[in-house]
Structure 1
């Protein structure tokens, strides 16, 4: 997680948004939603 946070620093809002939805999708899959 920390690596993604570091990579997202300085990125555009679009880049951050892409990370956000990917993390949300992975989280939902992880909890079986």
Structure 2
């Protein structure tokens, strides 16, 4: 249930962080892997 809200909210946030923050890029990939 919470995954849906996080996926919808963190999707754009992660995309922005990936371009803004370098270390966050790794976290984004890990989260994306778990979400999918």
TM-score of the two chains, using structure 1 as the length reference: 0.51
Higher-RCO chain (CA-CA 8 Å, sequence separation at least 6): 2
Q: Aligned pair count? A: 25
How well do the aligned residues superpose, as a CA RMSD in angstroms?
1.4
Distance in structure 2 (CA, Å) of the matches to 1:5 and 1:23: 11
TM-score of the two chains, using structure 2 as the length reference: 0.49
What do the CA deviations read for 1:1-33 (whole angstroms, capped 9, x no partner)?
Answer: 4x1312321211x21000100000110xxxxxx
Structure ID, larger Rg: 1
The answer for unaligned runs of 5 or more in structure 1 is 28-33
Higher helix share: 2
Q: Where has structure 1 moved over 2 Å in runs of 4 or more?
A: none
